[in-house]
Structure 1
Amino acid sequence: MIRVDGGCDGCRGASGWGDGAWRGGGTGGEQRREGGVGIVWRNVVFMALLHLGAVYSLVLVPGAQPLTWIWSYACFIITALGVTAGAHRLWSHRSYKAKLPLRVFLAAANSMAFQNDIFEWARDHRVHHKYSETDADPHNAMRGFFFSHVGWLFVRKHRDVIEKGKKLDVSDLLADPVVRLQRRYYKTSVLVMCFLIPTLVPWYFWGESLWNAYFLASILRYTISLNLTWLVNSAAHMYGNRPYDKNISPRENRFVTFGAIGEGFHNFHHTFPFDYSTSEFGLRLNPTTCFIDLMCWFGLASNRKKASVEMIQARKQRTGDGSA
């Protein structure tokens, strides 16, 4: 494990998952918002239908087999790891290193998450950190809870997001063959990982109906994972304490931490974005950190970066709000 005693230029600010031109319905790619609101009605309709489907899925829960409930939750965990351990901590922040088998697994899990391919996710996330709470922030929390939660998907990207994004060095992402492969076959991988496998496994292995399997393991699981992801952008920017830096918006939010398997220690993360654990407290309430540590034990991951205790305490005293 690598102890870090220095900061990260341009990394202070907010965090966001699934930022950018979301491909779950599309936002017209890299088109700019040049004055008007530029509503993307395709996304609005898709999201409305998806959430209606998720509400309907709740009716099916009592009639589904217990193994289907367990499978749906397992798919949720895999989905979350594809974002937290994959697109976020590995590819966006390079907070640890992963060998090829682990990178392949995380890329597949990221396709199950259906929140943009790794390249777009990581690129826009870096823009988000560098230009937090400005027009270059894909889901600028200064525009309100709804916008930072889901509204940013309903409008074209602000031109600043695109222009600032083009100036960042993302050569490390393109140098990874796993990232390039996932990007090339992204639509196919999403169809297989996000919808076909979650639906077919319960049907084939324990005789669950395709209807129940599709709505519970695909639609309900996907909708819940999206909203828990979005809460990092919205709730974790508005509700909670700021023990590390009271001058930035991100906060420590235990509810988000629990739902997003360790990503709710948001004030810490934006103060020390290089830390692989995104938290001062290691494994506590942080399943993603447990997963990365386990992968290190298996020899599939290494070079975990961690802020030193001295660095954390000094920052608390200098810029924290005095809370625990």
Structure 2
Amino acid sequence: MPDVREKTSDGGHADELSKLSKSRESDWPAVLFFIHIHLLSLYGFWLLFFEVKWMTVLLLVALTSFATLGVNVGAHRLWAHRTYTASKELRFVLMLMQTLVGQGSIYHWVQYHRLHHSLFNTDLDPYDHRKGFLYSHILTRLRKLSPYQERLKDQIDMSDIEKDSIVMFQKNFYWLLYGVLFLLLPLNAPLEYWNDSVLSAVFVIGILRYALVLHAAWLIESGFCIWGLKQGEKNPPDSNLVFFVNRSYWPHYHYLYPRDYKSGEYGTYDSGCSTAFIRVWAALGLAKDLQTTESSTIHEAMANAVKTKKPLRTCLDEAIKVQRLPEDHYLRRG
């Protein structure tokens, strides 16, 4: 599909795209659904501290961790950006873990995320970070895509995903898998194995868990507002945010070269559990073809961009094509 970002230099066309982006209707079922989920999760949060058994707490942590790993390492880094390739066994496990998120099938998640990348920094981006964190994280999910955005979404190349039998299996049987993996088994475990209450199962393992994993998954698109530096900005001493988060240009790098397996979802690079898991899987032979760049490659691309006046993204793509990485590069840090 054409890159909309290249067209917005024309002021008239930019105004047209802005109008198209605003023709989004409220999704009232989603509004009511998320209001209820968040209000009921508050009761689950209260139960977490005063009522539930410690085994239920451990189950909550485990399921939330598995789901977050499934969306970060599976849906995002493996399927959306092809930062590495995985064995059939690993892909099957990651598919099951992604189902625990309850955010739709891998196919549709990847389609929306690729749409986000293709429209990044334009008014048509459904998760436009320029409109602020509240919009990017929550408000946009309460509105339907505009008809024009729907057409752009349908133009996203999904041919690689359609060739993946495991992804298509999940897509075809998603609601069955969702019912068993997301609802039946997790809700039954506290009741069946350690005699916790129905309220604990429903409100902690059901609703509170869903709220937690949703926000963890939503941060993949909205986290740019938290961890990304604005153009010309450094860590600002006059912002209270500096005491809680480390802001950097790594989120910008992810949008320049999304195929780097080291790019973290939460503002990090070459660190975190997700990157560590990919390295372990590579060492075990379950993952291969890990994509990344060396610092010298980035420096070369930046110098070439200054010299030739080409876009940095183009120069980076050209430099990456000719770089030669050591076979064991995933065992090294930096």
Q: Shorter-chain TM-score category?
A: 0.7 to 0.9
Aligned position for 2:291: 305
Q: Distance in 2 between matches of 1:82 and 1:288?
A: 9
Residues 63/11 of structure 1: CA separation in 2 closer, same or farther (3 Å cut)? farther
Q: Distance in 2 between matches of 1:127 and 1:34?
A: 13
Q: Distance in 2 between matches of 1:65 and 1:289?
A: 32
Report deviation, 1:316. 7.5
Give the number of the structure whose residues are more often helix, by fraction.
2
SS of match in other structure, 1:64:
coil
Q: Distance in 1 between matches of 2:244 and 2:64?
A: 17
Within the alignment, does 1:274 sit opposite 2:259 as a pair? Answer: yes
* Residue-pair matches, total: 277
Q: Distance in 2 between matches of 1:308 and 1:39?
A: 44
* More deviation, 109-118/141-150: 141-150
Paired residues for 1:144-163 under 5 Å: 144-163=132-151
CA contact (8 A) 1:127 1:136 kept: no
CA contact (8 A) 1:11 1:129 kept: no
CA contact (8 A) 2:41 2:207 kept: yes
Residues 291/35 of structure 1: CA separation in 2 closer, same or farther (3 Å cut)? closer
Report deviation, 1:233. 2.7
CA contact (8 A) 1:276 1:289 kept: yes
One-letter amino acid of the structure 2 residue matched with residue 74 of structure 1: A
Aligned position for 1:23: none
CA contact (8 A) 1:95 1:275 kept: yes
SS of match in other structure, 1:157:
coil
| Same amino acid, percent of matched pairs | 28
Q: TM-score by structure 2 length?
A: 0.74
Report deviation, 1:274. 0.8
CA contact (8 A) 1:93 1:273 kept: yes
Could you report, residue by residue, the CA deviation over 1:237-269 in whole angstroms, capped at 9, with x for unpaired residues? 233454xx9489xxxx99689xxxxxx952332
One-letter amino acid of the structure 2 residue matched with residue 57 of structure 1: G
Could you report, residue by residue, the CA deviation over 1:69-120 in whole angstroms, capped at 9, with x for unpaired residues? 1110000111101110111000000110111111111111111101121111
Q: Distance in 2 between matches of 1:229 and 1:267?
A: 19
Q: Distance in 2 between matches of 1:185 and 1:278?
A: 31
Q: Distance in 1 between matches of 2:112 and 2:245?
A: 21
Aligned position for 2:82: 94
Residues 49/315 of structure 1: CA separation in 2 closer, same or farther (3 Å cut)? farther
SS of match in other structure, 1:305:
coil
Q: Distance in 2 between matches of 1:11 and 1:256?
A: 32
Q: CA RMSD in A?
A: 3.1
Residues 157/11 of structure 1: CA separation in 2 closer, same or farther (3 Å cut)? closer
Residues 183/11 of structure 1: CA separation in 2 closer, same or farther (3 Å cut)? farther
Paired residues for 1:1-324 under 5 Å: 37-61=24-48, 62-234=50-222, 236-240=223-227, 242=229, 246=231, 265-278=250-263, 281-282=269-270, 284=271, 286-313=272-299
CA contact (8 A) 1:128 1:138 kept: yes
Unaligned runs of 5+ in 2: 6-19, 234-241, 307-311, 313-334
Residues 35/281 of structure 1: CA separation in 2 closer, same or farther (3 Å cut)? closer
Aligned position for 2:10: none
Q: Distance in 1 between matches of 2:38 and 2:174?
A: 23
CA contact (8 A) 1:54 1:215 kept: yes
